[in-house]
């Protein structure tokens, strides 16, 4: 069977979307041929049965009309090279190509994992034969077409350190990801300011606002100003984003990972940290099912509540290095058992075939 895979960007070095390069690589073992259409193409290293076609954003920023015309031309020219269509997180492509695919008998699967709904998504779901998502809370409305597949973390890449890291006096806390208001990074900074009154802590912030989004840029600058206003300049470090494939080394250098994304959205970075054997703190209610009741009580804090987060940070800081390591082992076991990339790719390929 031959597959058309449609996604935003294919680039193994991208700090956010690089993971989907590994999805394509994994799926290539389950399909005779994969044709990939993306808005933007970067560095790729994929098997010979995978062909990548870009709409050209990496060459020139064009109009949506220009991209739409090229997309329609490609799905027509490639129509004999695919039997199934898989669209990742971009329902507008189903709106553009759905009628053609329906008339030509090509079954459509849509992956969507975000709490925001809109009319485009509902049209895409109407066209789609199957809708898949990571967790139930990550899809914004009920539909009989929905299938939950869990996340897919490369547990060979995201794995614990092979050598023992000497513990430092201060608890090393990590935030890694896009910097935007929805990430509630200001809450973490305020929590660090409180937690440092009880124990030695320091914070690394790895990430940046999306290029061209002024609201995110403004938020990033406000977080930096908050760090200065609270007198935390010596305890909080800012670092540029790095390729997703290089993040395991960053996770392993820290004692604790904190994610503050609101319930309904879902950041795979928390699962990556867990796979690296790093304790995590989260507020997203979806993690109650992932962690189980005992770990959830220990590792979850009230959403946007910097005081509760500070208390949880202090409790992790009070644990000895050996206890934190044992906690990390429990978290990695969850990822290996339920959220491994090989497992996801196998289930996804079966779902696409059975559509």
Phi and psi angles of residue 46, each rounded to the nearest 5 degrees, phi first:
-125, 160
Q: Are strands 256-259 and 2-10 parallel, antiparallel or unpaired?
A: unpaired
Q: How confident is the model at residue 196 (pLDDT cuts 50, 70, 90)?
A: very high
Q: Is 173 in contact with 255 (CB distance < 8 Å)?
A: yes
Q: How confident is the model at residue 354 (pLDDT cuts 50, 70, 90)?
A: very high
Architecture of domain 2-152+340-354: 3-Layer(aba) Sandwich (3.40)
pLDDT digits (tens, 9 = 90+) for 298-342: 999 999 999 999 999 999 999 999 999 999 999 999 999 999 999
100-135 in b/e form (b: 16+ CB < 10 A) is ebeeeebbbbbbbbebeeeeebeebbebbbbbbbbb
Mean pLDDT for 112-129 is: 94
Average pLDDT, the chain: 95
Do domains 2-152+340-354 and 171-338 share one topology? The answer is: yes
Domain parsing of the chain, residue ranges:
2-152+340-354, 171-338
Phi and psi angles of residue 211, each rounded to the nearest 5 degrees, phi first:
-60, 130
Nearest to 252 by CA among 350, 354, 344, 172: 172
State yes or no: pLDDT of 264 exceeds 80: no
Q: Which long-range CB contacts under 8 A does 22-25 form with residues at least 24 apart?
A: 22/154, 22/157, 22/341, 23/88, 23/152, 23/341, 23/344, 23/345, 23/348, 24/50, 25/50
Q: What integer pLDDT is reported at residue 39 of this predicted model?
A: 96
Q: Is 117 in contact with 91 (CB distance < 8 Å)?
A: no
Structure-block tokens of residue 67: 């991209």
Give the sign of the dihedral formed by CA 280, CA 285, CA 290, CA 291. positive
Q: How confident is the model at residue 62 (pLDDT cuts 50, 70, 90)?
A: confident
Q: How confident is the model at residue 157 (pLDDT cuts 50, 70, 90)?
A: very high
Paired with 84 in beta bridges are 3, 107
Nearest to 303 by CA among 273, 261, 338, 266: 261
State yes or no: pLDDT of 166 exceeds 70: no
Q: What integer pLDDT is reported at residue 167 of this predicted model?
A: 66
Q: Is 206 in contact with 273 (CB distance < 8 Å)?
A: no
State yes or no: pLDDT of 163 exceeds 80: no
pLDDT digits (tens, 9 = 90+) for 229-260: 999 999 999 999 999 999 999 999 999 999 99
Structure-block tokens of residue 150: 């869990």
Secondary structure (3-state) at 130: strand
State yes or no: pLDDT of 220 exceeds 80: yes
Does domain 171-338 fall into CATH 1.10.287.3510? no
Place of tokens 């969850």: 334
CA distances from 248 to 160, 161, 188, 289, 322 (A): 8, 9, 22, 25, 20
Structure-block tokens of residue 174: 């990590």
Interior angle at CA 104, CA 98 and CA 106, nearest 5: 65
Q: What integer pLDDT is reported at residue 228 of this predicted model?
A: 97
Cβ-Cβ contacts under 8 Å for 211 (sequence gap 6 or more): none
């Amino acid at each position: 069977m031959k597959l058309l895979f449609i996604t935003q960007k294919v680039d193994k070095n991208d700090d956010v979307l690089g993971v989907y390069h590994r999805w394509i690589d994994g799926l290539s073992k389950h399909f005779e041929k994969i044709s990939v259409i993306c808005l933007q193409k970067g560095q790729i290293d994929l098997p010979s049965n995978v062909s990548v076609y870009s709409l050209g954003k990496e060459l020139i920023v064009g109009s949506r009309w220009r991209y739409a015309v090229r997309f329609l031309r490609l799905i027509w020219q490639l129509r004999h090279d695919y039997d199934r269509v898989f669209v990742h997180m971009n329902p507008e492509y189903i709106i553009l190509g759905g009628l053609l695919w329906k008339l030509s008998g090509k079954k459509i699967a849509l992956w969507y994992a975000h709490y925001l709904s809109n009319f485009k998504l509902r049209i895409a779901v109407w066209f789609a034969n199957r809708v898949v998502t990571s967790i139930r809370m990550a899809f914004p409305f009920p539909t009989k077409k929905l299938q939950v597949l869990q996340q897919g973390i490369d547990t060979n890449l995201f794995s614990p350190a092979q050598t023992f890291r000497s513990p430092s006096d201060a608890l090393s806390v990590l935030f890694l990801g896009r910097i935007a208001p929805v990430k509630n990074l200001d809450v973490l900074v305020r929590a660090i300011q409180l937690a440092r009154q009880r124990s030695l802590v320091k914070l690394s912030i790895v990430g940046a606002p999306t290029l061209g989004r002024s609201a995110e840029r403004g938020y990033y600058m406000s977080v930096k100003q908050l760090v200065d206003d609270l007198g935390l300049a010596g305890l909080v470090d800012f670092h540029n984003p790095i390729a997703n494939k290089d993040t395991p080394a960053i996770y392993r250098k820290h004692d604790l990972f904190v994610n503050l994304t609101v319930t309904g959205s879902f950041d795979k970075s928390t699962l990556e940290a867990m796979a690296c054997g790093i304790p995590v703190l989260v507020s997203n209610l979806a993690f109650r099912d992932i962690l189980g009741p005992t770990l959830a009580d220990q590792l979850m804090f009230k959403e946007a509540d910097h005081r509760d987060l500070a208390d949880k940070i202090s409790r992790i800081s009070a644990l000895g290095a050996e206890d934190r390591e044992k906690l990390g082992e429990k978290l990695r076991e969850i990822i290996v058992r339920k959220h491994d990339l090989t497992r996801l790719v196998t289930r996804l390929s079966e779902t696409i075939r059975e559509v």
